[in-house]
Amino acid sequence: MLYIAPAQAETNHLLVGYCTTDLAGAKAAGFDFTEARIREFNRLSDADFTNFAAASKAVGLPQLTGYWFFPGDLKVVGPDVHTNDVINYVEKALDRCQTLGVKTIVWGSGDSRRAPEGFSRETAFQQLVALGKRFAPEAQKHGITIVAEPLRKAESNTINSAAEGLQWVEAVSHPNFQLLVDIYHMTEEKEDTAIIVQAGSHIHHVHMSNPHERVFPLRAEEFDYQPFFLALAKVGYQGTVSIEAKTANLAVEGPKAVEFIRTSMSAAARQVSK
């Protein structure tokens, strides 16, 4: 099944974004959008958020996606989940994301979903599924899709692989709850890219980096990116890609990274179509 995100269909080129608060810098570097830090703007007062939204809009670069969803002290798994607090937080986040034009929310937030030692992993998973079922319909009302982000074990002890993320997505079973794949976390967990093909049209967003030191991806020679790009090409992925990585020089490396990702995805698509 060929997946085409609405924004992608309108522009006819791969949309590449950057996880940053530097909208002006990202715009100057040639990015199509930025990925906003939800937990930061969600704690602003209403007046401060209004100013933040206005300043963001004035830059003229869309914030199509959002990450850093939950603060670490707002637990979503374990024996001390305050469900009403979680619901109130998410409702506020969805409203504010809609105001900013965010279309995809990345649910990573490793500390928030870290289960305490000795707590049942199955119970933690069921807690995540229940919240996913609760929030996906609300996200749909706001024109937003939530994506499950698998995180390496160093960052969380729940949903550490794309395979586990896919299980979460399938258990929630809602069109507005889908999957993110991240080359860094897959590399850290030594996960085969075959899972990307298995997940197919459930993949709604991608995080990109050079997994060596998690820096901007710039050249084919620096890492074996091909299996990742080929797997995405096999499922016809043409959605959004965000760089979540460090750079020493955004103005120089930004344009190179955008071009590298677009060129690599195009080459992979041509190879698959042969």
7: pLDDT strictly greater than 70: no
Q: φ and ψ at 33, to 5 degrees?
A: -165, 170
Burial 227-239 (b: 16+ CB within 10 A, else e): ebbbbbbbbbbbb
The share of the chain scoring above pLDDT 90, in percent, equals 95
Q: Which amino acid is at 28?
A: A
The share of the chain scoring above pLDDT 70, in percent, equals 96
Q: Concatenated DSSP letters for 76-108?
A: SSSTT--HHHHHHHHHHHHHHHHHHT--EEEE-
Greatest alpha-carbon pair distance for the chain in Å reads 55
216: pLDDT strictly greater than 80: yes
Nearest of 171, 183, 165 to residue 133 by alpha carbon? 171
Q: Is the entire prediction scored with pTM above 0.85?
A: yes
pLDDT for residue 2: 33
Q: Which residues pair with 105 in a beta bridge?
A: 66, 146
Contact between 29 and 18 under an 8 Å Cβ cutoff? The reply is yes
pLDDT for residue 1: 29
> What's the CA gap between 139 and 65, in Å, rounded?
13
Spell out the alpha helix ranges (H) of 142-189: 162-172, 183-188
5: pLDDT strictly greater than 90: no
If one counts every other C-beta atom within 10 angstroms of the C-beta of residue 10, the result is: 9
Contact between 234 and 272 under an 8 Å Cβ cutoff? The reply is yes
What pLDDT, in 10s, does the model give residues 109-162? 999 999 999 999 999 999 999 999 999 999 999 999 999 999 999 999 999 999
pLDDT for residue 6: 39
SS3 content of the chain, % helix, strand, coil (to 5): 50, 15, 40
What pLDDT, in 10s, does the model give residues 85-102? 999 999 999 999 999 999
Domain 6-273 has CATH 3.20.20.150: yes
pLDDT, average across residues 234-258: 97
Across the chain, mean pLDDT equals 95
pLDDT for residue 12: 54
The alpha carbons of the chain give a radius of gyration, in whole angstroms, of: 18
pLDDT for residue 10: 38
- β-pairing, 16-19 vs 33-37, is parallel
Q: φ and ψ at 204, to 5 degrees?
A: -115, -15
Q: Give domain limits for the chain.
A: 6-273
Contact between 64 and 8 under an 8 Å Cβ cutoff? The reply is no
Residues 6+ apart with CB under 8 A from 187: 211
Spell out the alpha helix ranges (H) of 12-82: 23-28, 38-41, 46-59
189: pLDDT strictly greater than 60: yes
Nearest of 181, 153, 154 to residue 166 by alpha carbon? 181
Nearest of 255, 260, 265 to residue 233 by alpha carbon? 265
